[in-house]
């Protein structure tokens, strides 16, 4: 199985990459900075539209069984409504968390179509739930709500060509982004997400689930 994971050099993305490499899968990882020496690495900065054609060119004729759109940013943690949230922060957040997801799927659509039962997994967040909406972290929450919406609409349009799409909340995970007080460890998160990705098919396309398989309100 061939898998591409965006943002695979740290946090959840690294955990997923390590999991699939250990299982003997062919894994391509993207990062926007210096690339690790070992493994199949591709440079991709989701803020730069010019990077997506280059990514597609590097993967020309490579069938992709699973695309994991994991890379994301959370810049507004702890920001104050009255005095912070500059326009540039909103632009970067949506460029990475929403537009970057779309452009990645669009660029790699030919590669997905080459596989027998291709899947796209979008890492979203329950923080984007409009039903819960506890306030604060406005840019991140809005971007993850949009990412979930994007995944569900992609599921509709890609189903006729045999590509399943799901959106997944990884849980509150003890990573650099999640912090040391988060609910679950990386190993539990990765095991749960890998199980969800493995079960994703055309019958379940459009699902929005947590790492443990429970539905996420959106």
Catalytic site positions: 140
User: DSSP character for 166?
Assistant: E
Q: Is 13 exposed, middle or buried (0-12, 13-18, 19+ CB in 10 A)?
A: buried
Cβ atoms of residues 212 and 136 within 8 Å: no
Per DSSP, the residues of 138-186 read HHHHHHHHHHHHHHHHHHHHHGGGT-EEEEEE--SBSSTTT-TT-SB-H
Nearest to 66 by CA among 9, 103, 108: 108
């Amino acid at each position: 199985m061939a898998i591409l994971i965006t943002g695979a050099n740290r946090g959840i993305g690294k955990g997923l990459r390590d999991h699939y490499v250990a299982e003997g899968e062919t894994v391509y990882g993207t990062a926007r900075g210096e690339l690790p020496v070992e493994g199949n690495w591709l440079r991709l900065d989701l803020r730069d539209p010019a990077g997506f054609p280059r990514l597609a060119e590097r993967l020309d004729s490579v069938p992709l069984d699973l695309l994991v759109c994991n890379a994301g940013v959370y810049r507004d943690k702890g920001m104050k409504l009255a005095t912070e949230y500059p326009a540039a922060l909103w632009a970067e957040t949506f460029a990475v968390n929403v537009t970057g997801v779309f452009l990645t799927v669009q660029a790699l659509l030919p590669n997905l179509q080459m596989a027998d039962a291709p899947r796209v997994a979008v890492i979203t967040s329950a923080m984007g739930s409009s039903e819960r909406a506890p306030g604060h972290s406005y840019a991140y929450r809005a971007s993850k709500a949009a990412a979930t919406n994007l995944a569900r609409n992609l599921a509709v349009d890609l189903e006729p060509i045999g590509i399943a799409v799901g959106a997944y909340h990884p849980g509150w995970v003890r990573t650099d982004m999640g912090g040391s007080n988060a609910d679950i460890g990386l190993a539990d998160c990765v095991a749960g997400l890998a199980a969800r990705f493995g079960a994703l098919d055309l019958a379940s396309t459009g699902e929005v689930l947590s790492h443990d398989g429970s539905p996420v309100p959106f």
